[in-house]
Amino acid sequence: QVQLVESGGGLVKPGGSLRLSCAASGFTFSDYYMSWIRQAPGTGPEWISYISSSGTYTDYADSVKGRFTISRDNAKNSLFLQMTSLRVEDTAFYYCARDRSSSPIYDLWGQGSLVTVSS
């Protein structure tokens, strides 16, 4: 079954760190660019990062640049997001998503993982 499954979300205090994981199955993970997209309740989604199929290229939204790091392990069909210096405004559902043909056309999404930053 073609799917993405996120894990690692939870409650963290401001300034804390968290690592999200995304397990891919049912397709050749190493062929695809991957992205992380977040969505705060009641708002539109916000793209935050992408990584190329080999892991060579990455980019970040200004809102997370310098605090978040995207990585992947193609041998384990896994995508990661290391989040540090977390802020209250980082509270959101975090989705991993598959890019189509290295373009930001998100044709497969995970179910989402909730990150809550609160004291």
Q: Which residues bind to other proteins, rule: CB under 8 A?
A: 35, 43-47, 59, 61, 95, 100, 103-107, 109-112
CB of 115 to other proteins, least distance (A): 15
Q: Between residues 59 and 73, which has the closer beta carbon with respect to other proteins?
A: 59
> 47 is written with which tokens?
């793209």
Sheet holding 18-25, edge to edge: 3-7, 18-25, 78-83, 68-73
CB of 117 to other proteins, least distance (A): 21
- Would you say 86 and 63 are in contact if contact means Cβ atoms under 8 Å apart? no
Closest alpha carbon to 83 in 63, 67, 71:
67
Q: Between residues 39 and 82, which has the closer beta carbon with respect to other proteins?
A: 39
Q: Between residues 41 and 75, which has the closer beta carbon with respect to other proteins?
A: 41
CB of 99 to other proteins, least distance (A): 9
- What's the angle, vertex CA 81, arms to CA 46 and CA 58, rounded to 5? 75
